[in-house]
Amino acid sequence: MIDRSLRPGDPSFVGGHRILTRLGAGGMGVVYLGRTDSGALSAVKVIRAEYALDGGFRARFRREADAARRVDCPWVVRVTGADPDAARPWLATVFEPGPSLAEAVGRHGPLPARAVRVLGKTLARALAAVHAAGLVHRDVKPGNILLAADGPRLIDFGIARSLDATALTSAGMVVGTPGFLSPSRPRGRRPDRARR
């Protein structure tokens, strides 16, 4: 069982969101469940302090948050707000209840073949919308795909990268989850649009 309780040092409010609980944590930050004054639920990713001290990171985060807001697709979580100038930069998206693909397969085993075909087709549409907005996701994996009631959602723009921007990472550093990286990434090549 994952401990989702808030910890000492976790914020109470972030950008107009009352923080309710933790949803998860990764290399770039912590994701919280937040509620706005209007009652809307959001997944609020708060960037780790070491990145917040880097002015270059903030500039790239600003560009990438702006690009992520332009993604228009029902299969990609919608960005609802971001503040790259906050003491701890943050990005909020619509909260989509449902297990991740990794959790669903872990609990119930492989998906039926038809469900896999539908999932693949839907995720291809999601990635096409991400690319059309000028972004490369860089960490598409079962843990970053939510199975909502009306279909899957691609989540976690924490390491998304603008196609025309400099990388968030240092030279030679590979970003993503081993086992789910595109073949170009371990070889140190730049991620780009798929070739036809």
Enclosing H/E stretch for 151: strand 151-154
| Domain assignment of residue 126, yes or no | yes
> Does some domain include residue 4?
no
pLDDT at 183 over 70: no
Mean pLDDT across the chain: 84
Domains held by the chain: number? 1
* Residue 66 predicted with pLDDT over 90: no
Q: What is the pLDDT of residue 23?
A: 93
> Is residue 80 in some structural domain?
yes
60 within some domain: yes
Instruction: Determine whether 72 is an active site residue.
Output: no
Would you state the pLDDT for residue 60?
Answer: 85
Read off the pLDDT band of 92 (50, 70, 90). very high
Higher pLDDT, 147 or 192: 147
Token code pair at residue 132: 């059309």
Q: Give the residue-averaged pLDDT of 12-35.
A: 94
- Would you say residue 193 has pLDDT above 70? no
Mean pLDDT, to the nearest integer, of 51-72? 88
Higher per-residue pLDDT: 2 or 132: 132
The domain containing residue 155 runs over which residues? 13-162
Give every CB contact of residue 41 below 8 A, 6+ residues apart in sequence: 33, 34, 35, 94, 95
**In this model, does residue 180 exceed pLDDT 60?**
no
Kindly name the residue from 10, 139, 156, 192 that is annotated as catalytic: 139
Least confidently predicted of 41-50, 98-107, 129-138: 129-138
Residue 72 lies in a domain: yes
Q: Report residue 3's pLDDT band, with 50, 70 and 90 as the boundaries.
A: confident
DSSP of 32-97: EEEE-TT--EEEEEEE-HHHHT-HHHHHHHHHHHHHHHT---TTBPPEEEEETTSSS-EEEEE---
Whether residue 7 lies inside any domain: the answer is no
Asked if the structure places residue 180 within a domain, the reply is: no
pLDDT band at 32 (very low <50, low <70, confident <90, very high): very high
Closest CA to 129 of 66, 72, 68, 78: 72
Report which listed range, 24-33, 55-64, 109-118, 171-180, is most confident: 109-118
Lowest-confidence segment of 64-73, 81-90, 99-108, 157-166 by average pLDDT: 157-166
The pLDDT value given to residue 174: 43
**Is residue 142 assigned to a domain?**
yes
CATH classification of the domain holding 56: 1.10.510.10
